[in-house]
A and B are shown apart, each in its own frame.
Chain A
Amino acid sequence: MSIVFEKSKFLTDAPLHYCPGCSHGIVHRLVAEALEAVGAEGHVVGVAPVGCAVFAYNYFNCDMQEAAHGRAPAVATGIKYVNPDNIVFAYQGDGDLASIGLAEILHAAARGVNITVIFINNAIYGMTGGQMAPTTLLGQKSTTCPYGRDAILNGNPIKVSEMLATLDGPSYVERVSVADVPNIKKAKKAIEKAFRNQVEGKGFSFVEVLCACPTNWHMSPLQAVEYVKNDMTKIFPLGVYKEV
């Protein structure tokens, strides 16, 4: 019998704790495959966030550090400067990266530090039970904007890719989605490119991935991917925002 498909060697055998229909599993796999594609074996360190992906260190089969909430880019900066030849990546959610850790991501990007950051934007705080995120859409309900996000009451969603693209530091900023197979294929390319850039010494690379959170959106997995496709992409258009 011939093997036609194998799990990436950059994933451990630990069963994922993510909810049914959650996109984290897909992105974990894309990151693992990208690490494999760029030949990261033996010289890679990942940084896990606080949030749903807090246990990412159990899933990625490489050296990992768990960062405090929002601080993954700072931790990754320290790791990179100690061993500049290592591939270093941070994997962060929207509360982590776009709220409490906005300063760290902006300055890591501005510094142009040669790391790769994968940003999971699912417009919600998942781990803590569905509170409003900095990326929650106007009108979208959460446990802390139960009537739907209101611009006057709750402020507006933050568009991180657009913001980072205004900086001179990043070499690559793209927003992708994993809502369907064609988009997953594009996401795979983008993530691989973000790692290849690091290998080639091009500097800070950033991929924002629009993801579904059926549990906290109170939707079925199918409804959730439709919400990503139809609603999220209107506010967070897909595409390359910066490429040097």
Chain B
Amino acid sequence: MAEKKLMKGNEAIAEAAIRGGCRFYAGYPITPQNEIPEYMSWRLNEVGGHFVQAESEVAAINMVYGAAGAGGRAMTSSSSPGISLKQEGISYICGAELPCVIVNMVRSGPGLGGIQPCQGDYFQAVKGGGHGDYRMLVVAPNSVQECVDIMYDAWDKAEKYRLPVMILGDGMLGQIMEAVELPPMKDPATFPKKPWATTGEGTGENRRIINSLYIVPDELEAMNHKLQKVYDEMAKNEAKAEEYLLDDAEIVLTAYGTVGRIVKSSVDMLREKGIKAGLIRPITVYPFPKDAFKKVGEMKSVKEIVTVELSMGQYIEDVKLYTECKKPVKFYGRSGGNIMAPEDVVDFVLKEVK
């Protein structure tokens, strides 16, 4: 067994990024993700990479655009207001088919909001955020180890599909410390070649152009179709969910990210009270694990579904959509940076669910 290390979520994300091949980071300070740039500032230096504290989130995402376009494994990280600023760049990155990694340690909103954990950026992350027809691979880890595992392979997936991978966390995930096992450093020699990258040798017909401008509608439509094919392929391969005590469940609790683990305790507490509760937790929130949710919608034993979120009710829309409204879905949420305890969810179920 590899040696375990006690790490904060933010630090573990940074270390796993390095081990996964990241050699360029640009970012701008914002709570609660500052441990990521702080860690990167010395760690990238150690491995011969580059860290830039950008003048803004806007500049940071565009530095990532340049670095990714030049063939580097590049990332940025921020928290909600900063991610809003990055949306323009994210749209360009998707339009130019550039692989990169973006971490959002979500804080409460709207506006300047607060700095405590929240899940209010769900729509922004999975339904667009920036302009135009694009999708990203959006993954919502629930533990420090899952952060490590996802970051470690994030560029492999980003490069496979040539799109950004977004880690959708929250302040809690960034700040929590757990013991993790760190995988070995990936060897850049094993990374796939990127014939499209502007590495400087291009000339004449072999020039590489990183661009998202298509003035002719037919050309852009063809590009849109090409992108969609990639998104369909990604949806087929990458959708992932965790199921817990679902087999005989009558009440299914569902939540993603850190809330998913809080709710897991609620399931245990309900089971102790003789209530047949179960959990389904999407690990990827885009692509949404449609099949797993369709199955829940069709399960005979299931009487009711409860979505638990740190928001006013965003994730519930996808739960209804993908269970095809075959079961009643109730909503329990906290917001503003408040976090529910497992007991709160239990109380809600006892009171509100038949």
A interface footprint on B199-229 (CB within 8 Å = 1, 0 otherwise): 1111110011111110000000000000000
Which B positions have Cβ atoms within 8 angstroms of A?
Answer: 23-24, 26, 50, 52, 54-56, 58-60, 62-72, 74, 88-89, 92, 96, 198-204, 207-213
B59 in complex: contacting residue of A9, A42, A62, A104, CB < 8 Å: A104
| Docked CA distance A107–B71 (Å) | 24
Cβ of A18 under 8 Å from chain B: no
Contact A77 to B66, CB < 8 A, known contacts A66-B96, A71-B89: yes
Interface class of chain A by DSSP? mixed
Which A positions have Cβ atoms within 8 angstroms of B?
Answer: 9, 12, 41-45, 47, 54, 57, 61-68, 71, 74-83, 85-87, 103-104, 106-107, 111
| Docked CA distance A73–B198 (Å) | 16
* Nearest CB of B to A107, in Å: 4
| Docked CA distance A65–B60 (Å) | 16
**B59 near A103: Cβ-Cβ < 8 Å:** yes
| Docked CA distance A31–B72 (Å) | 26
**A62 near B202: Cβ-Cβ < 8 Å:** yes
Q: Which residues of A contact B199 (CB under 8 A)?
A: 45, 63, 83, 86
Q: Which residues of B contact A83 (CB under 8 A)?
A: 70-72, 199-200
Residue in B69, B74, B92, B212 whose Cβ sees the most chain A Cβ within 10 Å: B69
* Nearest CB of A to B130, in Å: 11
B66 in complex: contacting residue of A43, A75, A111, CB < 8 Å: A75
**A45 near B200: Cβ-Cβ < 8 Å:** yes
* Nearest CB of B to A110, in Å: 8
**B211 near A57: Cβ-Cβ < 8 Å:** yes
| Docked CA distance A131–B23 (Å) | 41
Q: Which residues of B contact A63 (CB under 8 A)?
A: 198-202, 207-209
Q: Which residues of B contact A82 (CB under 8 A)?
A: 23-24, 50, 66-67, 70-72, 74
Residue in B52, B66, B198, B201 whose Cβ sees the most chain A Cβ within 10 Å: B66
Q: Which residues of B contact A107 (CB under 8 A)?
A: 54-55, 59
